[in-house]
Amino acid sequence: MNLPAHSTSRPSPSRSGYSKIVVVGGGITGVTCALALQRRGLAVTIVDEGLAERRCSFGNAGSLSPGSVAPLAMPGVLSQVPGMLIDPYAPLHIRARYILQVAPWLWQFIRSASPKRVEEISHGLSALLSSSIELYTKLLTEIRANDLIRRRGQLQLYTSKKGFQKDAAVWALRRARGVTVEDVSLDDIRQLEPAISPRYNCGVYLPNEGMITDPARLVERLAEAFVRNGGQIVNAKVAAFDIDETSPRAVSTNHAPVAGDAFVIAAGAWSNQLSSSIGDKVPLQTQRGYHVTLNNPGIELNRPVVAADRKYFVTPMDMGIRVAGTVEFDRLDSPPNYDRARALVDCIPELLPSITIDKKSLWMGNRPCMPDSLPVIDRSTSFPNVYYAFGNGHLGLTGAPMTAEIIAALVMGETPAIDVSPFHVSRF
């Protein structure tokens, strides 16, 4: 697929043009954007509905995965679609009642799996993600919250060589992008994580991956720092842009309007509702994921472990061991199907036979997903003072700090640190 050239006729905002920025969305993307803009001397207001648990950033698996440079749609993905439809507990499932609505997105998803496109996408992901841990370390050092980040790598494990072999293209692509990927034997696994069942006997160790020990707390701590530095948070639901003769001057909400010179849409899976109202209808799809957090697991883990054949993460967090994953295509507003979370609980003893499953919490979150696994980080095609920062999908925690750096550079009229052409809003 050829990416359309970005229009050069769109006016460039001048550095001095904006002083008051409104960020819509207070998840990890919104707060990191707000902090990056604030650091450049701008007055920033975050407008967010204020329902922390509704955010995808609240309950994710906490993994910082700079090495996740392979898109979800790899060559051959078409053959997996029937399984997604038939098996309700498949790691990737499409609700039958939703199939017609999701069909256009699925078509783009399948198209993005061509070998040439996968290669291009992996370069985009690599640029976006590779400095994630360094950027978080800097950010968290500034706000004295280093306790939230851990850097002990990640294990991705399989129960058979055959299963491992099935993902060979993914591991080859990661290595081709310079990611350190070390094959591990049963002995290596036992040394790194004694709690793991010998059923999981092969896989890889990714030494340069990291994790956040409490993703909800991360957003809270960043938001607290933002407010301490003079930022404002307004708890309200944005309904629309208030547009004067030339461009948006405020957002209308269920409370008072919030005025600004420029606007950043970082509303996660809900972002398309606002972008399409000003002419940028994007193929943004929610992929619902679930977690189960076991508060008294009775075992120790040192790092995130992925049961790669079943595609779920197990992460040792401050509040217990979190098991997170699964992909469910459904409407943004349909109620959670906690049977999918319970199915995760059923799987855990296969990986961690001594785990105690008693006190647990269940959660569902909406991943904001584009068909090509790349986010939208760009300016609106209609209004130069509206910016987009959404669609980081399965990697939104990892991708947030670089997304924020790009947005800050675009708003300031500077050249971003990386090539932003892979993230253009009009690429579909």
**DSSP structure class, residue 50:** -
Among 324, 406, 420, 425, binds ligand FAD (CB under 6 A): 324
In the complex, least distance from residue 210 CB atom to ligand FAD, rounded to whole angstroms: 10
Please report whether residue 25 would count as binding ligand FAD according to CB under 6 A. Answer: yes
Please report whether residue 55 would count as binding ligand FAD according to CB under 6 A. Answer: yes
Among 13, 67, 210, 365, binds ligand FAD (CB under 6 A): 365
Binding pattern for the stretch 141-170 against ligand FAD, x by CB under 6 A and - elsewhere: ------------------------------
Please report whether residue 203 would count as binding ligand FAD according to CB under 6 A. Answer: no
Among 36, 218, 397, 406, binds ligand FAD (CB under 6 A): 397
What is the end-to-end Cα distance of the chain in Å, rounded?
A: 9
Q: Retrieve residue 401's tokens.
A: 């700090």
Name residues contacting ligand FAD, limited to 242-271 (CB under 6 A).
266-268, 270
In the complex, least distance from residue 112 CB atom to ligand FAD, rounded to whole angstroms: 18
Q: Which stretch binds ligand FAD (CB under 6 A): 15-23, 74-82, 148-156, 360-368?
A: 360-368
Among 23, 28, 223, 420, binds ligand FAD (CB under 6 A): 28
The maximal CA–CA distance of the chain, rounded, in angstroms, is 68
In the complex, least distance from residue 427 CB atom to ligand FAD, rounded to whole angstroms: 18
Rounded Cα distance between 130 and 257, Å, is 38
CB 64 within 8 A of CB 209: yes
- Nearer Cβ to ligand FAD, position 297 or 365? 365
Rounded Cα distance between 32 and 13, Å, is 21
Nearest to 361 by CA among 216, 251, 241: 216
Rounded Cα distance between 204 and 186, Å, is 11
Rounded Cα distance between 131 and 34, Å, is 19
- Nearer Cβ to ligand FAD, position 310 or 394? 394
Rounded Cα distance between 124 and 127, Å, is 5
Rounded Cα distance between 84 and 335, Å, is 20
Rounded Cα distance between 235 and 149, Å, is 28
Binding positions for ligand FAD, rule: CB under 6 A: 24-30, 47-49, 51, 54-57, 60-63, 65, 237-238, 266-268, 270, 289-291, 313, 324-325, 365, 367-368, 390, 392-398
